[in-house]
Structure 1
Amino acid sequence: MTTERTTPLPDIEALSRNASLLVEEFGRAASRYMKPVTTPDALVVQPVEPPEEVKDVVRTLGSVAETWLADPKRTVEAQTRLSEAFITLWGSTWQRLQGENAPPVAQPEPKDNRFAHAEWSTNPIFDFIKQSYLITSRWAETMVDEAEGIDEHTRHKAQFYLRQISGALSPSNFVMTNPELIRHTLKENGANLVRGMKMLAEDIEAGQGQLRVRQTDPGAGFEVGVNVAVTPGEVVFRNDLMELIQYSPTTETVLKRPFLIVPPWINKFYILDLNPAKSLIAWMVSQGLTVFCISWVNPDARHADKDFESYMREGIETAIDAIGVATGESEVAAAGYCVGGTLLAVTLAMQAATGNKRIKSATFLTTQVDFTHAGDLKVFADEEQIRLIESRMQKRGYLEGTGMATAFNMLRPNDLIWSYVVNNYVKGQAPMAFDLLYWNADSTRMPAANHSFYLRNCYLDNTLAQGKMILGNVRLDLKKVKIPIFNLATKEDHIAPALSVFEGSSKFGGQVDYVLAGSGHIAGVVNPPAKPKYGFWTGGPATGRFEDWVAAATEHKGSWWPYWFQWLEHQAPARVPARVPGDGGLAAICPAPGTYVRMKA
């Protein structure tokens, strides 16, 4: 005997009441969305001009459509393929409705969690909706992939935009086409939609008129310096661009050579110090390193003219000066994460060109110096889009933090956007409390001069890899950089793809130890030895084809951190008594994590 899951009958009175409340909450959300653009004397409604980003989507996908329409024979063949797939699906669905078994025409990818609910497969109607969506979206992807006569940048943009559109139109996002959401809504008599609309209004208000989708519970109690970024230390130096933190030792002796961390300014540094169990900084200290870390200012209009050279000189170079005063050492080892690593590579090239070689070994964490294969972020870096970004930055002197945050979320829209839209605004559930996503939402701004230089010289023109970057009237050549380099990539990185990091290794003039870690841009880096989730691969110099290097590489279980520390210690193994922040040539200014990290965008 079998039992069927039945959908509970709704409470009509409660459903009606919640429908009324839903209308009220929708009104509040709409008013908050319209508030920033409403003025007291706005008596006439003006037509809304589509944003430039939308125009670019239309232009890009339109250019793909034009290539197909120019060849009617190929267009008919493509339409026939789609029709045949739907005819097969109709037949399969008819068989299932008659109680017969029929193989699926289209299946989700194994990692696609949107269709995990059983009824997407067991219910023929919802299975038809799911497969119709998969057939159509994959057919559209093929149309872009096989379009003739378009340049590769346009094709890349079209592929990216299509992923955004297909992700938004997934039937899993809507109540009436998602069996799980139907059951959930009927069970709660629509109360979930009321809660969701309330959260939507709150998130629009938090975004000052733009929707800022929450990824973690704002009431979870995360606070910088209280339960995130808690490794003990002191700010020992401060200028307009950065605070320099020196961390308190936990060992009796430390390596004589101090260690400087250069984090990205696109995010805040404490991704490397989320909590004691996952803190790379705390682990470094426990191994006997005198760790200094830059904490970049969250810039505003006053920093509009701070460019890449400013970040190099007032950031890295000034930090090395301060470390010398604090420790008496003139040489350091350094690590750069993401764009912080790109800045570190620029600094190494400048030091090689000028003879001021104070950085004696460098560690790059998911860092690009060659942007040929820079992944989907290149979608935002053609001449037209950079000019658009520059015009917006010119008005305020900086790029809003939400700009980069949205771009990063768009790299994985189903995981980082639509899953939260469904959870928050349809299910009416607050997202889980998660320190990583709290950090992700703690966005930073970018100074106009710095960000413009970065987009043009790295993503657009790739000048550093070609030996053509000019900074301070000096041409920079990475081939002159001869110091030992540890170059970490991660297998599933959407921001600094492993191939890009691999090919960047060949741009340096000295020995580069290329290591490939599991997972992505963050989880692959923050993988503590006490609870490692992923392994790593080593395989000697990064030469030849990337695929061949991976095929021949040796896999290691556990975290890459101990392997890296052995590499670092080998460069300069001498030890000295541990150094206490504030006891050297620099007085302590305030406890870590300092004040700049607390500045909100």
Structure 2
Amino acid sequence: MSSPQLLRKKAPAPTPASTLPANTTDTADTTNTADAVMTAPTRSASDAACAPTRGTSSDDLDRAAHAAVAAWTGGLSPASMVLAWLDWAMHLTVSPGKQLDLATAALVAPAVQARGTPPAARRTPPDPRFAAAEWEAWPFRLYRDAFLLAQQWWEHASTGVPGVEAHHEDLVRFWARQWLDACSPGNFFATNPSAQKALIDSGGGIAIQGAQHWLEDFADMASRLRGGRPVHPSAWRPGHEVACTRGRVIWRNELCELLQYEPATSQVTREPVLIVPSWIMKYYILDLQPKDSLVKYLVDEGHTVFMVSWRNPGAADRDLALDDYLKRGLLAALFEVHARCGEPVHATGYCLGGTLLAIAAAALARDGKADLLRTVTLLAAQTDFSEPGELGLFIDASELAALDALMWQQGYLDGSQMAATFQLLNARDLIWSRMMSEYMLGRRSKPNDLMAWNADTTRMPYRMHSEYLTKLFLNNDLAEGRYCVDGQPVALPDIDAPAFVVGTERDHVSPWPSVYKLHLFTHNALTFVLTSGGHNAGIVSEPGHPGRHYRCATREPDAPYRSRQEFFEQTPSIDGSWWPCWSDWLRAHSTGQVSARQLDPALEPAPGRYVLES
């Protein structure tokens, strides 16, 4: 904690707020304003870890070779997979006890099944793929039970082999699961009794419907691969059915737009709320339909709300860096909000936007600018990446070399490529079960606003995403005090603003135990909320949503650390949405109310231009 403090040098004062453009919606020279907040000091030899690295022609040759391989594997590293399997196989070879256990399981289980005794695999929670009564008929129950036994055997085989490196064990178990899910008897018409019954009951109609669905999806995929728009446009259009909270674009540069929403009350909280979403997503995840819009909820609660809307980059933006997103994005928007309202800001970051906000807050505190922030709210955002959850399967040096080469060749990571990774993490439901339902049974999933948003993908600039994956995910530089802004490291313990941190119970992107780790990096007041749902649905959890619950506890300044298990066991579950809890917290950390801040009606209306770009 002391090391970053010893390296500090006082930054020059920021550009006065009065010099900022008052009401511009065109590209403005705002980069200097943000840069004034963080001005690079003279580097010393001790800052070598913060110095940028430069590629050579031989590096480019290596990248080209890696990119050629990655193009065939979808950005996955064959070397990483092979090394994992070799590690597992070689250690299994010299583990006779484990071999004996596996051989016994392979011989005994089929004998038990032949006698009609339910296999052990069926005593676990029931698999929804085999919930239909038709699976109890012969011979389909044999197919099902054999599959469940194989699944159980591979789970035992891929874990607990002495000497296997933990990451390799996770990879072997993951790829074994992918192979098994692909071979499930439910995926094939000849071994799926539900599909056969549905075909007979429909008089062959589901076959026609399934074929039609396949042709529609194929045409849609072909259009996307050619760079065109979807064949079947979404019924959820930003500015119409979604992203329709009334507001204006008050500022724009080449990287992002800043939206301000029209007040719904005559009085508003004095300190405004600035929301910074992840650049991996379109911002309107937080402004879907009026009934489940977090933006509208905050406006109706009497808050002045600003939102960052990131531009969707292309190949020409390949050299945009993470530092650009910090200075020309988050900090520039923060300075603009502060200039317009004249008050410190309730800064809020979602997912990677929250990670970027943590970096910004630490850098502002380091340079004596902490008074720009009233509070910091992090929604499903990691600051320590040592436990990244299932995404860690795709984070090692070999995987990142392959992905880096692919992005280097394209200039960006395409949203569809990133979506494929998330689909692999839950292939059973997102790939195989969907294919069975839509193509074999002829059932078309009815889209909703969240699904439409999920399909509205974005791209990641090569340099920025490479820096993010390497510095934050692989090296964990932020948590370990090596992440640099303006050539000097930033430290999370320097953040002294009160924090409100939200984790979600079923988050595969930002697992809540990882989000909870911010407790280890601050001794200031920290309110932690654990809510039901996943990375998206847990955050979009409006009042009245059935089945929602949350836990909330505040760690007072300098209070001792409480483990996440203790938090979970000792904090009672509260039915309902966590949104009112957060709104009350924002109000409690504000300094009263002022007259509502009105917008110039001549400004461009929300949702602006950038969110509409494909």
- Judge same fold: TM > 0.5, yes or no: yes
Aligned to 1:117: 132
Candidates 328, 351, 354, aligned match of 1:341: 354
Aligned to 2:573: 555
3-state SS of paired residue (2:599): coil
Whether 2:71 is the aligned partner of 1:53: answer no
CA–CA distance in structure 1, aligned partners of residues 170 and 409 of structure 2: 30
3-state SS of paired residue (1:525): coil
**Please, what TM-score do these two structures have when normalized by structure 2?**
0.83
CA–CA distance in structure 2, aligned partners of residues 51 and 368 of structure 1: 26
CA–CA distance in structure 1, aligned partners of residues 73 and 269 of structure 2: 58
CA–CA distance in structure 2, aligned partners of residues 352 and 322 of structure 1: 18
Task: Compute the displacement of 1:581 (Å).
Answer: 2.4
Task: Compute the displacement of 1:105 (Å).
Answer: 3.6
Aligned to 1:148: 162
3-state SS of paired residue (2:528): strand
Question: Structure 2 vs 1, CA of residues 240 and 155 (structure 1 numbering), >3 Å: closer, same or farther?
Answer: same
Question: Structure 2 vs 1, CA of residues 111 and 81 (structure 1 numbering), >3 Å: closer, same or farther?
Answer: closer
Candidates 328, 351, 367, aligned match of 1:354: 367
Whether 2:602 is the aligned partner of 1:579: answer no
Question: Structure 2 vs 1, CA of residues 208 and 276 (structure 1 numbering), >3 Å: closer, same or farther?
Answer: same
CA–CA distance in structure 1, aligned partners of residues 148 and 225 of structure 2: 28
Aligned to 1:382: 396
Aligned to 1:70: 94
Task: Compute the displacement of 1:326 (Å).
Answer: 3.2
Candidates 518, 521, 530, aligned match of 1:504: 518
Instruction: Name whichever of 376-385 and 418-427 sits farther off.
Output: 418-427
Instruction: Name whichever of 365-374 and 406-415 sits farther off.
Output: 406-415
3-state SS of paired residue (2:348): strand
**Residue pair 2:271, 2:590 contacting (<8 A) in 1 also:** yes
Aligned to 2:586: 568
Q: Which AA in structure 2 matches 1:70? A: V
Q: Which AA in structure 2 matches 1:199? A: H
Q: Which AA in structure 1 matches 2:532? A: G
Task: Compute the displacement of 1:110 (Å).
Answer: 3.8
CA–CA distance in structure 2, aligned partners of residues 128 and 539 of structure 1: 50
Question: Structure 2 vs 1, CA of residues 237 and 211 (structure 1 numbering), >3 Å: closer, same or farther?
Answer: closer
Aligned to 2:332: 318
3-state SS of paired residue (1:455): helix
**Residue pair 1:238, 1:244 contacting (<8 A) in 2 also:** yes
The C-alpha deviation readout for 1:366-402, integer Å capped at 9, x for no partner, is: 1100111110111111111111111111112110111
3-state SS of paired residue (1:506): helix
3-state SS of paired residue (1:394): helix
Whether 2:344 is the aligned partner of 1:331: answer yes
Aligned to 2:14: none
CA–CA distance in structure 1, aligned partners of residues 583 and 520 of structure 2: 23
**Residue pair 1:114, 1:172 contacting (<8 A) in 2 also:** yes
CA–CA distance in structure 1, aligned partners of residues 72 and 507 of structure 2: 36
**Residue pair 2:75, 2:403 contacting (<8 A) in 1 also:** no
**Residue pair 1:527, 1:533 contacting (<8 A) in 2 also:** no
Task: Compute the displacement of 1:58 (Å).
Answer: 4.5
Q: Which AA in structure 2 matches 1:114? A: R
Instruction: Name whichever of 541-550 and 177-186 sits farther off.
Output: 541-550
CA–CA distance in structure 1, aligned partners of residues 207 and 328 of structure 2: 50
Instruction: Name whichever of 507-516 and 457-466 sits farther off.
Output: 507-516
Aligned to 1:87: 111
Q: Which AA in structure 1 matches 2:121? A: A
CA–CA distance in structure 1, aligned partners of residues 207 and 101 of structure 2: 44
Question: Structure 2 vs 1, CA of residues 172 and 599 (structure 1 numbering), >3 Å: closer, same or farther?
Answer: same
Aligned to 1:33: none
Report the number of matched residues.
535
Aligned to 1:430: 444
Whether 2:160 is the aligned partner of 1:136: answer no
Whether 2:198 is the aligned partner of 1:184: answer yes
Question: Structure 2 vs 1, CA of residues 550 and 211 (structure 1 numbering), >3 Å: closer, same or farther?
Answer: farther
Whether 2:174 is the aligned partner of 1:160: answer yes
Question: Structure 2 vs 1, CA of residues 219 and 265 (structure 1 numbering), >3 Å: closer, same or farther?
Answer: closer
Candidates 413, 416, 438, aligned match of 2:430: 416
**Residue pair 1:481, 1:509 contacting (<8 A) in 2 also:** no
Question: Structure 2 vs 1, CA of residues 210 and 61 (structure 1 numbering), >3 Å: closer, same or farther?
Answer: farther
3-state SS of paired residue (1:502): helix
CA–CA distance in structure 2, aligned partners of residues 59 and 182 of structure 1: 42
Aligned to 2:26: none
Structure 1 residue runs of 5 or longer lacking an equivalent are 1-47, 93-101
Task: Compute the displacement of 1:228 (Å).
Answer: 1.2
Task: Compute the displacement of 1:196 (Å).
Answer: 3.0
Q: Which AA in structure 2 matches 1:512? A: L
3-state SS of paired residue (1:224): coil
The C-alpha deviation readout for 1:495-519, integer Å capped at 9, x for no partner, is: 1111111123321342211111112
Candidates 250, 272, 285, aligned match of 2:299: 285
3-state SS of paired residue (1:582): coil
Instruction: Name whichever of 404-413 and 337-346 sits farther off.
Output: 404-413
Q: Which AA in structure 2 matches 1:107? A: R
Instruction: Name whichever of 246-255 and 128-137 sits farther off.
Output: 128-137
CA–CA distance in structure 1, aligned partners of residues 564 and 262 of structure 2: 40
Identity fraction in percent: 33
Q: Which AA in structure 2 matches 1:148? A: P
CA–CA distance in structure 2, aligned partners of residues 195 and 352 of structure 1: 60
CA–CA distance in structure 1, aligned partners of residues 354 and 238 of structure 2: 24
Q: Which AA in structure 2 matches 1:75? A: Q
**Residue pair 1:366, 1:488 contacting (<8 A) in 2 also:** yes
**Residue pair 1:543, 1:549 contacting (<8 A) in 2 also:** no
Q: Which AA in structure 2 matches 1:82? A: A
The C-alpha deviation readout for 1:81-105, integer Å capped at 9, x for no partner, is: 122111111111xxxxxxxxx5454
**Please, what TM-score do these two structures have when normalized by structure 1?**
0.84
Aligned to 1:544: 562
CA–CA distance in structure 1, aligned partners of residues 333 and 77 of structure 2: 42
Structure 2 residue runs of 5 or longer lacking an equivalent are 1-70
Candidates 213, 217, 221, aligned match of 1:207: 221
CA–CA distance in structure 2, aligned partners of residues 217 and 559 of structure 1: 37
Task: Compute the displacement of 1:467 (Å).
Answer: 1.2
Q: Which AA in structure 1 matches 2:111? A: I
**Residue pair 1:232, 1:591 contacting (<8 A) in 2 also:** yes
3-state SS of paired residue (2:429): helix
3-state SS of paired residue (1:456): helix
**Residue pair 1:217, 1:430 contacting (<8 A) in 2 also:** no
CA–CA distance in structure 2, aligned partners of residues 209 and 324 of structure 1: 44
3-state SS of paired residue (1:564): helix
CA–CA distance in structure 2, aligned partners of residues 276 and 209 of structure 1: 31
CA–CA distance in structure 2, aligned partners of residues 297 and 60 of structure 1: 38
3-state SS of paired residue (1:207): helix
The C-alpha deviation readout for 1:448-480, integer Å capped at 9, x for no partner, is: 111011101111011111111112212010011
Task: Compute the displacement of 1:111 (Å).
Answer: 6.8
Task: Compute the displacement of 1:420 (Å).
Answer: 1.4
Question: Structure 2 vs 1, CA of residues 237 and 543 (structure 1 numbering), >3 Å: closer, same or farther?
Answer: same
Matches within 5 A, 1:450-599: 450-541=464-555, 543-582=561-600, 588=603, 590-599=604-613
RMSD: 2.4
Aligned to 1:257: 271
Task: Compute the displacement of 1:330 (Å).
Answer: 4.3
CA–CA distance in structure 1, aligned partners of residues 546 and 435 of structure 2: 31
